[in-house]
A and B are shown apart, each in its own frame.
Chain A
């Protein structure tokens, strides 16, 4: 079932094809990469559950997101990438479809689903627009899911409904100009007032996705990790809102290699005073929040890799059949076959690893660190390699942004850095393996 669906699926199309390049494009490229059908319409859901879609609802979710992506996400990706702009409209649509609160309880405006569902959304969005997906991830996983898991009822009722709806755009601030992988090396501090009723936050956070959406002001609301005690692990988490005195946009980060339609910013905290009600979880207790949320962050970043890989393989497969050289389709050449076959096998391996881990990931606890790191380690490099092969198979067309692969290729690289570098995964995994494992499953 699964395999046949893959093989009958045509790749999504590059839109906005400029006249000049289109003239150069032979028919085969055009046919190979064109949208499934002109004026594609919304498609309804069908089909039963399978390994990648643990229940019928997961299957329906996947098909809903896929058809939304074909109709509304794919057509805008190239333009927003070129302009390095965030598409607020598309983001709002994610809210209307109930995707922003995918893991949040219905009482707070969410859809009450699980880690597998989160992976499905990330995989499908990334197959067309990893940058939009990264903004989605920062909002829905790093802020929304984080607060759902770690916040109080009051905090959830106050911040989640608007975030699930999409009327606020949120993010999470962990990394700093001087501390990334070494997260506990952070220096942003929150000092309690003498009466203990408030905290004053000072410092700067770097690389914050959704840190701004317009390039001029900060994003709407953030979870901010800050040092609250002398111990290395004395970290607490706070909610900081746009407009609070002292909370400023440091800079919008321009010229990123990829993920250009996702806004990244430096945020500055200059004596930002927040009440105790803004403290999420216990004082000095944010390590737990961080650990809980890092697992789903890594798994969904892995899912983004799987989405990128799928799209690239679809493009390679179609193009390989239709493009002729020396009188034969290029997929009759051994080297091209290796690109396509290796990619497919690695994609399937990664995808199975991903959904196996997601199925067992309990969002409210920790304990899947080894495999959360492992899936991200595997699927992100896999995506980068697959995108690279796709570019090779498409030749000159692959190298130009109208044909999508070029963008996916650049976007894939981020996955090896954000949410934990490959080296961080190596370090964590060997620590966990050495500590807990003698014989492997």
Chain B
């Protein structure tokens, strides 16, 4: 079973983002970038499948500018066998200029070329937070999808998975025939550290570079970002004395109760 994992380079989750002075987006200059946390979960799951021999090969794919190479190196150090770098123009922001539709289109090309049985993606990337790429990719490929995966069990390698997925009211268990697209939620696993020996081994693994603009996919964004502004500063709360006072305030001040 050949597994492909999408790994995206995003602003590190611990960075307190600032808005650019021209309000065109969040500041990306001199900001620490890391692999999207949900992509780490996807990567971890793929490496586990490799360790249990359910997967024969794990391919990490990153779509982004030159620097996305660093994210691929991390994926290789975590245990991917090889990488595919779909190079985008350095001027295009992958957090807002490259939309899920384009990303799904590019991933589809790679899936078809690499003859993949299972695509593992993060449920969303923490920059755009769209949560659309996985479902769109499944739709384009005509494959089943299991989003927000909390547990993946291989029923028969290359044929059938069982996926427990997070929903607002609990979890749902799906029987998923392969090929399929699965998107990872945080609870799926605890991503490993890239150990030092594996960091060293990753040096010798190959990364194929493709050019996004040459792949016959329409990359034009469908939306235009007009302005990015920080959320309003939260006002301090008040401590209420009693439930009655709370209900009163919810009615009169907050207007959320009739």
Contact = CB atoms under 8 A, between A and B. Distances in A.
A44 B35 contact: yes
A282 interface: no
The winner among B9, B31, B34 for most chain A CB atoms within 10 A is B34
17 contacts: A8-B15, A8-B30, A36-B14, A42-B40, A42-B193, A43-B13, A44-B34, A44-B71, A44-B191, A45-B199, A46-B9, A46-B71, A57-B203, A61-B199, A68-B193, A111-B199, A113-B196
A98 B30 contact: no
Give me the 5 closest cross-chain CB pairs, A-B, nearest first.
A98-B196, A4-B30, A44-B35, A111-B196, A98-B195
Chain A interface residue count: which class?
20 to 34
A1 B194 CA distance: 23
Interface string A2-23: 0011001000000000000000
A98 B195 CA distance: 6
Size category of the binding interface on chain B: 20 to 34
Contacts, number: 97
Contact of A43 (B31, B34, B195): B34
Interface of B: 9, 12-16, 30-35, 37, 40, 67, 70-71, 73-74, 77-78, 190-200, 203
A112 B203 CA distance: 13
A5 B196 CA distance: 23
B34 to A, nearest CB: 5
Given A37-B13, A45-B70, A97-B196, 19 more contacts: A4-B30, A5-B30, A40-B14, A42-B40, A42-B190, A43-B13, A44-B191, A46-B9, A46-B33, A46-B70, A46-B71, A47-B70, A56-B70, A60-B199, A64-B193, A98-B199, A102-B196, A111-B197, A117-B196
A74 to B, nearest CB: 14
A1 B14 contact: no
Contacts of A1: 30
Nearest to A94: B196
B194 A44 contact: yes
Given A36-B14, A46-B9, A97 B195 contact: yes
B73 A60 contact: yes
A48 interface: yes
A45 B74 contact: yes
Contact of A64 (B70, B194, B203): B194
A174 interface: no
Nearest to A93: B193
Contacts of B70: 45-48, 56
Contacts of B40: 42, 44
Given A8-B32, A41-B37, A112 B13 contact: no
Contacts of A57: 199-200, 203
Contacts of A67: 193
